Amino acid sequence: MQMQEVETRQAYTILIPAYNPDEALVTLVEKLRASGFSNIIVVNDGSDESTVGTFDKIASFVDQVLTHEQNQGKGAAIKTGLRYAVDKHPEKIGVITVDADGQHLPQDVVNVYEEGVNKPHHLIMGCRDFSGEAIPLRSRFGNQATRLVMLIGSGLKLKDTQTGLRAIPMRYARQLLDIPGNRYEFEMNMLTFTKRLQVPIQQTTIQTVYENENDSSHFRPILDSILIYRMFLMYSLSSVASFLVDVGMYALFIYLLSPYFDTAHVLIATVIARVISSLFNYLVNRKVVFDSKARRSLPKYFSLVVLQMAVSALLVYLLFLLFRQGEVILKVVVDSFLFFVSYYIQKRWIFKK
């Protein structure tokens, strides 16, 4: 019986970052080779000595095994692989990143590959379906949270922001080498830069595979979540600090001015405190939160402050006319909504890099 010839797939380099992998990596590499992928790069991200046998098994199946002497993080491993691919295989369409833990089935890699061949200038994302009951709670929650942050921060509406199965165009891969982040936050930063560079995104549905509640994942729920949501968390802390400065300055000027004014000191203290707290918030957001050197950001920022105050007052007033009660609750709801809107405007317009 004549064996069916396997189609050779050489348009993309396969990149697998691996940290303390098990036999799933060996199986993955063998199946990828059987699917026609001949150019495979694996990055050993400082794995334990106990995994030497695993890497020895795949050595004859892959193009190159790159090694970090110490664990540097998934983002750093991807950068190492991208740098190798850019230098050694610049003629290819791009690089497809695949997780080492067996979550990405070879057929899904093939599907992403074919999408990439058809749309060579797109970032192809293999997106999982998180609606099933079998999805681990931390994975479902993490995806929902990062989707919300990505939508607010960059305006990108994505099904799966944390997928590791991505076909990256070669010309885009070169630019990714300078993106900050060495761990899981790198994959989120990649999407932000995609938006900034106006790289189109194609979302391709893939099967959702979790073995043993995804216990093979090296994701650190607290620390890596902080890194992923760093900008939004810093923005939130900046807002809280600015509020404390506002209240503190208001109390101080009430104390200093009350002996000299009957009632006007309240208005004067309010204005001075708001100006000082706004300047404080501007400087912290510009230097720390968004790390921006954008020109003319100060007048843009204060234009936003004035506009936000006006919109807040108008919306609270209109809602009060509608409900005729709950003035404080209405203001909390309106200002909470404007808090997210302000973050998006500051990130995308005022402090845009």
Q: Dump pLDDT digits (tens) for 297-335.
A: 999 999 998 898 888 888 888 888 888 777 778 777 888
Which positions ≥6 away from 244 have C-beta within 8 Å?
A: none
236: pLDDT strictly greater than 60: yes
Among 52-61, 210-219, 254-263, 330-339, the minimum mean pLDDT is found in 210-219
Task: Mark out the alpha helices in the chain (DSSP H runs).
Answer: 23-34, 52-58, 74-88, 106-118, 137-154, 170-176, 185-196, 221-228, 230-257, 264-284, 297-323, 327-345
- What's the whole-number average pLDDT of the chain? 83
Of 188, 172, 171, 189, the C-alpha closest to 180 is 189
CA distances, 12 to each of 97, 126, 329 (Å): 10, 15, 54
Find all residues with CB under 8 Å of 207, minimum gap 6, and list them: 105, 108, 128
Given a contact cutoff of 8 angstroms between Cβ atoms, the answer to whether 199 and 123 are in contact is yes
pLDDT-derived band at 27, boundaries 50, 70, 90: very high
> Is 25 within 8 Å of 52 (Cβ atoms)?
no
pTM of the shown model = 0.66
What are residue 41's DSSP bridge partners? 15, 64
Do residues 188 and 75 make contact, with C-beta atoms less than 8 angstroms apart?
A: no
- Bridge partners of residue 68, in order along the sequence: 45
Per-residue pLDDT band at 221 (split at 50, 70, 90) = very low
228: nearest Cα among 190, 177, 178: 190
Length of the chain: 353
pLDDT interval class at 95 (50, 70, 90)? very high
The CA distance from 48 to 153, in Å, is: 37
pLDDT: which is higher, 211 or 232: 232
- Quote the pLDDT of residue 295: 79
pLDDT bucket at 214, cuts 50 / 70 / 90: very low
Cβ–Cβ < 8 Å for 75, 95 = no
Q: What are 274's two structure tokens?
A: 């708001």
Higher pLDDT, 198 or 31: 31
Which pLDDT does position 154 carry in this prediction?
A: 66
231-252 exposure pattern, b = at least 16 Cβ within 10 A, e = fewer: bbebbeebbeebeebbeebbee
Which pLDDT score, from 0 to 100, does residue 2 have?
A: 43
